[in-house]
């Protein structure tokens, strides 16, 4: 079902346009604003407050002021608020989905999927909040007893990306609130509206003032720097590109901040000769084209055994030729716009370079005339070593196929990257699957599946893909400090 423009206007009129600082929605202190645009048309969506560095510090002040009371709030109360927020997002699921489609461009069906996935972090961590625990341990010498306890790390600062506007926010906010931490969040300037709507939901859910503060800004660096330099801040969690992550880690080192980093990926997708080819093709289409390819988990390099490469390429190409391009609100659209013009240029340059070096263009390969920033779903096969597309995160709807001769070569190619976020492998050979778990140097793996994200699983990478885990049993520990208290042997 397509969405009518009256529904879009009604929704946009309900989205907060100011900063959430402490108890109030407020304008930026310099009165500045900026306009969020629809990448499928280039049209203006909404004009919102543009925070200054002073606003950032005021938001941190609010988070600091609220920290002790929130940390002392019973975990059942924190849990209930998170659960209530989950229920409210469910009630407004269509609003959240449409808003993400409008500001980010993803097809509405996928935006609904993100509402389900993103809201689940609220429910999952509402359930984890009440399970924070410690231990009591006699030391081996028998001379003492240690009591191990967990404590909220304190005020947190979150910088989130534009590609999953709801999930990237909830994946950080939910465990932090569950752990008893207060938060300042700075969403990406390209897609800040979903976070603002989430802020409204948290207020309706009864979250105390100052526990969650939201600053939207076009001056990311200028606003973030003073917050990171402030010794009252205790934790930074960032999702975005590796270069920005590295520079934030350098800055965070000054105050020895705890950091969680979800950075770039260059996911290999391995198809072995013993794969179930129907499932491999289905998994490949999901791993590549979900979110228009704009995901750090997107399959970036298809590595296919030489005996099945022709069949795999033909099937993928046939499927891709059927994909409908268009605005995400239109029926049947699979490929929405890329986020902006530079994303289109990047995809185009990577494909052009691959073809120049000898790859075959099976389909696509061109930007689509505006309005909107669209790039055709594209397949290139026979991509040769040294092509830029094998080194760079494509972040677009481009399948790049290379062949391998045997498992050793496949593993060597897969691991030949500084990234280590996720790998995918399709094989029906159990022992091979087990070997790959040990051989592929990534924090996550999809074995015979094309989508791996789930709130119950610990998302995160190794190597230059990041530090820390979000979701799962691990997620809440990013927001807890471990302390032990040594006590004497009470019988001595």
Compute the least distance from the CB of residue 233 to ligand ADP, in Å: 13
Compute the least distance from the CB of residue 189 to ligand ADP, in Å: 5
**Contact criterion met (CB below 8 Å) for 461 and 471:** no
Choose the stretch contacting ligand ADP; rule: CB under 6 A; options: 22-30, 140-148, 236-244, 362-370. Answer: 236-244
Choose the stretch contacting ligand ADP; rule: CB under 6 A; options: 148-156, 160-168, 361-369, 437-445. Answer: 160-168
Concerning whether 296 is annotated as a catalytic residue, the answer is: yes
Q: Is 373 in the site for ligand ADP (CB under 6 A)?
A: no
Taking each helix axis as running N to C, give the angle between helix 75-91 and helix 167-179, from 0 to 180 degrees, rounded to the nearest 10.
160
| Residue 317, both tokens | 């190409």
Residue in 51, 176, 188, 411 binding ligand ADP, rule: CB under 6 A: 188
- The Cα 206–Cα 247 span in angstroms is 36
Residue in 175, 240, 328, 472 binding ligand ADP, rule: CB under 6 A: 240
Compute the least distance from the CB of residue 274 to ligand ADP, in Å: 36
Compute the least distance from the CB of residue 228 to ligand ADP, in Å: 8
- The Cα 404–Cα 411 span in angstroms is 9
Compute the least distance from the CB of residue 39 to ligand ADP, in Å: 13
Residue in 196, 244, 285, 444 binding ligand ADP, rule: CB under 6 A: 244
Residue in 113, 161, 364, 471 binding ligand ADP, rule: CB under 6 A: 161
Question: Long-range contact list for 9-16, CB < 8 A, 24+ apart?
Answer: 11/95, 11/98, 11/99, 11/102, 12/45, 12/46, 12/99, 12/102, 12/193, 14/95, 14/197, 15/46, 15/99, 15/193, 15/196, 15/197, 15/200, 16/196, 16/197, 16/199, 16/200
Which residues are registered as beta bridge partners of 420?
462
Rg (CA), the chain: 23
Residue in 41, 90, 200, 241 binding ligand ADP, rule: CB under 6 A: 241
Catalytic residue among 114, 120, 262, 376: 262
Residue in 29, 90, 220, 255 binding ligand ADP, rule: CB under 6 A: 220
Choose the stretch contacting ligand ADP; rule: CB under 6 A; options: 77-85, 158-166, 176-184, 408-416. Answer: 158-166
Taking each helix axis as running N to C, give the angle between helix 93-104 and helix 108-129, from 0 to 180 degrees, rounded to the nearest 10.
120
Choose the stretch contacting ligand ADP; rule: CB under 6 A; options: 175-183, 203-211, 216-224, 373-381. Answer: 216-224
**Contact criterion met (CB below 8 Å) for 301 and 267:** yes
Concerning whether 128 is annotated as a catalytic residue, the answer is: no
- The Cα 35–Cα 192 span in angstroms is 10
Q: Is 160 in the site for ligand ADP (CB under 6 A)?
A: yes
| Residue 186, both tokens | 């700075």
CB nearer to ligand ADP: give 146 or 218: 218
Q: Is 378 in the site for ligand ADP (CB under 6 A)?
A: no
DSSP string, 211-263: SEEE---S-HHHHHHHHHH-TT--EEEEES-HHHHHHHHHHHHTTT-EEEEE-
DSSP string, 355-400: HHTT-EEEE--SEEPSSS-EE--EEEESPPTT-GGGTS---SSEEE
Residue in 159, 174, 181, 410 binding ligand ADP, rule: CB under 6 A: 159
What is the total residue count of the chain?
A: 492
Q: Is 221 in the site for ligand ADP (CB under 6 A)?
A: yes
Compute the least distance from the CB of residue 217 to ligand ADP, in Å: 8
x-or-dash pattern for ligand ADP, window 246-275, by CB under 6 A? -x----------------------------
CB nearer to ligand ADP: give 118 or 152: 118
Q: Is 224 in the site for ligand ADP (CB under 6 A)?
A: yes
CB nearer to ligand ADP: give 228 or 299: 228
CB nearer to ligand ADP: give 253 or 437: 253
Is 385 exposed, middle or buried, given 0-12, 13-18 or 19+ CB atoms closer than 10 A? exposed
CB nearer to ligand ADP: give 172 or 477: 172
CB nearer to ligand ADP: give 218 or 429: 218
Compute the least distance from the CB of residue 222 to ligand ADP, in Å: 8
Compute the least distance from the CB of residue 344 to ligand ADP, in Å: 14
Residue of this chain nearest to ligand ADP (CB atom): 240
- The Cα 410–Cα 441 span in angstroms is 13
Q: Is 193 in the site for ligand ADP (CB under 6 A)?
A: no
Compute the least distance from the CB of residue 227 to ligand ADP, in Å: 9
Region at 116 (left for phi over 0; alpha for psi -120 to 50; beta for the rest) = alpha
Catalytic residue among 128, 181, 296, 393: 296
Q: Is 178 in the site for ligand ADP (CB under 6 A)?
A: no
Nearest-CA neighbor of 466 among 402, 417, 421, 403? 421
Catalytic residues: 262, 296
Q: Summarize as ranges the residues that interact with ligand ADP (CB under 6 A).
A: 159-162, 188-189, 220-221, 224, 240-241, 244, 247
């Amino acid at each position: 079902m397509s969405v009518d423009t009256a529904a879009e206007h009604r929704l946009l009129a309900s989205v907060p346009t100011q900063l959430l600082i402490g108890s109030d929605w407020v304008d930026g202190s310099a009165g500045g604003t900026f306009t969020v645009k629809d990448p499928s048309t280039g049209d203006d969506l909404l004009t919102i407050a543009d925070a200054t560095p002073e606003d950032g510090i005021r938001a941190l002040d609010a988070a600091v002021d609220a920290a002790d009371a929130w940390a002392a709030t019973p975990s059942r109360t924190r849990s209930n608020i998170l659960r209530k927020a989950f229920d409210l997002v469910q009630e407004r699921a269509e609003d959240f989905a449409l808003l993400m489609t409008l500001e980010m461009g993803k097809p509405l069906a996928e935006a609904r999927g993100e509402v389900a996935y993103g809201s689940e972090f609220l429910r999952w961590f509402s359930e984890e909040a009440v399970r924070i625990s410690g231990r009591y341990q006699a030391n081996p010498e028998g001379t003492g007893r240690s009591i191990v306890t967990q404590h909220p790390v304190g005020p947190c600062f979150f910088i989130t990306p534009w590609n999953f506007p709801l999930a990237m926010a909830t994946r950080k906010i939910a465990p932090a609130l569950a752990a008893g931490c207060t938060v300042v969040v700075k969403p990406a300037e390209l897609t800040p509206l979903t976070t603002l709507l989430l802020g409204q939901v948290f207020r309706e859910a009864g979250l105390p003032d100052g526990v969650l503060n939201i600053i939207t800004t076009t001056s990311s660096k200028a606003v973030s720097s003073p917050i990171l330099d402030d010794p009252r801040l205790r934790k930074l969690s960032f999702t975005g590109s590796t270069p920005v992550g590295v520079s934030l880690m350098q800055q965070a080192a000054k105050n020895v901040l705890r950091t969680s980093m979800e950075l770039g990926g260059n996911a290999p997708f391995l198809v072995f000769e013993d794969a179930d080819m129907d499932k491999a093709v289905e998994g490949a289409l999901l791993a590549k084209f979900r979110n228009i390819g704009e995901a750090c988990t997107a399959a970036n390099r298809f590595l296919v055994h030489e005996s099945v490469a022709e069949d795999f390429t033909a099937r993928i190409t046939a499927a891709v030729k059927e994909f409908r391009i268009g605005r995400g609100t239109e029926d049947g659209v699979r490929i929405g716009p890329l986020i902006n013009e530079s994303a289109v240029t990047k995809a185009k340059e990577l494909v052009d370079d691959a073809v120049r070096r000898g790859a075959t263009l099976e389909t696509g390969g061109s930007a689509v005339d505006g309005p909107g920033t669209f790039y055709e779903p594209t397949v290139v096969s026979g991509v040769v070593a040294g092509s830029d597309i094998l080194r760079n995160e494509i972040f677009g709807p481009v399948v790049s196929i290379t062949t391998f001769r045997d498992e050793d070569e496949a593993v060597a190619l897969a691991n030949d990257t500084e990234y280590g976020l996720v790998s995918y492998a399709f094989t029906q050979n159990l022992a091979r699957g087990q070997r790959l778990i040990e051989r592929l140097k990534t924090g996550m793996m999809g074995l015979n599946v094309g989508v791996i994200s789930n709130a119950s699983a610990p998302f995160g990478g190794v190597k230059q893909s990041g530090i820390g885990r979000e979701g799962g049993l691990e997620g809440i520990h990013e927001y807890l400090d471990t302390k032990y208290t040594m006590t004497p042997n009470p019988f001595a």
